[in-house]
């Protein structure tokens, strides 16, 4: 039996196709990551078709399709839509069944989800979706201001001993602050390190309101940035569990839930 999960985020859309075996385990047949753009309907259809092509199956082979993410209600061909909190928890727990805290940092929002150790379901969460500070978009803007490729932030973080405090919490003001620091000749490596610590501090402020319970998993596209991982692990004093492809966790959770319908 095949299922599909589609996660429509503000920046990217992901689709994943699973196949359940006779022992109720599943294998990943394919997954695809693409840009959402301004047309959610077209984006979701294209990503779904690409996932079918990679899996070498047809739409008729899929028993259940579940959509999640902010654009989930616009996926007309989905059988059901489920909130991203539930789907992210499902996705992480399918990989790391003992996780108690989930940190998800996406393109335009960040969230922290607390998992009940007995029921294995979300019992509380906090979401920052009103401001881009501390998200992937924030880091993209800062990388552009610094004229440094974002994928190089990790290497810079680990090779730089000192940091410059970034005091602005607003993306616009933080960009202006960085431009000013560059103008004063401040080492860019120190600015990058300060930026990554500032993102970590914003996430930790959310965690502190829920209470940290280990093990902790980090998901979302920003989890691919080793600098962010390093800053968070240093501040939290714990090892973060990161799924094989942290950007498709929501879609994975949606597809896993679809197998149970």
Residues belonging to the chain: 261
Our CA angle for 228, 236, 147, nearest 5°, is 15
Give the whole-angstrom CA distance, residue 21 versus residue 102. Answer: 28
Rg (Cα) of the chain, in Å, rounded? 19
Structural domains of the chain, ranges and CATH numbers in brackets:
2-96+247-258 (3.30.420.40), 105-241 (3.30.420.40)
What single-letter DSSP state applies at residue 43? H
C-alpha–C-alpha distance, residues 166 and 181, integer Å: 10
Do residues 69 and 85 make contact, with C-beta atoms less than 8 angstroms apart? no
Going residue by residue through the chain (261 aa), what tens digit of pLDDT does each one get? Answer: 899 999 999 889 999 999 988 777 899 999 999 999 889 999 999 999 999 999 999 999 999 999 999 899 999 999 999 999 999 999 999 999 999 999 999 888 899 999 998 999 999 999 886 666 778 888 999 999 999 999 999 999 999 999 999 888 788 888 999 999 999 999 999 999 999 999 999 899 999 999 999 999 999 999 999 999 999 999 999 999 999 999 999 999 999 999 998
pTM above 0.75, yes or no: yes
- Which tokens hold the place of 250? 């929501």
């Amino acid at each position: 039996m095949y299922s599909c999960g589609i996660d429509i985020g503000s920046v990217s859309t992901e689709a994943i196709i699973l196949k359940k075996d006779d022992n109720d385990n599943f294998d990943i047949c394919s997954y695809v990551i693409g840009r959402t753009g301004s047309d959610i309907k077209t984006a979701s259809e294209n990503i779904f078709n690409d996932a079918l092509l990679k899996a070498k199956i047809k739409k008729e082979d899929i028993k259940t399709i579940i959509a999640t993410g902010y654009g989930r209600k616009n996926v007309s061909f989905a059988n059901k839509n489920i909130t991203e909190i539930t789907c992210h928890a499902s996705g992480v727990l399918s990989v790391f069944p003992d996780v108690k805290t989930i940190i998800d940092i996406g393109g335009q929002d960040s969230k922290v989800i607390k998992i009940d150790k007995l029921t294995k379901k979300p019992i509380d969460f906090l979401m920052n979706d009103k401001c881009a500070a501390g998200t992937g978009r924030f880091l993209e803007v800062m990388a552009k201001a610094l004229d440094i490729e974002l994928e190089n932030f990790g290497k810079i973080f680990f090779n730089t001993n000192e940091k410059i405090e970034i005091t602005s919490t607003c993306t616009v003001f933080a960009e202006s602050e960085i431009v000013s620091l560059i103008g004063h000749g401040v080492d860019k490596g120190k600015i990058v390190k300060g930026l990554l610590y500032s993102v970590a501090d914003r996430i930790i402020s959310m965690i502190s309101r829920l209470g940290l319970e280990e093990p902790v998993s980090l998901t979302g596209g920003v989890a691919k940035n080793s600098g962010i991982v390093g800053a968070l692990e240093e501040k939290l004093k714990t090892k973060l569990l990161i799924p094989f492809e942290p950007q498709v966790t929501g879609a994975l959770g949606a597809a896993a839930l679809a197998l149970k319908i």
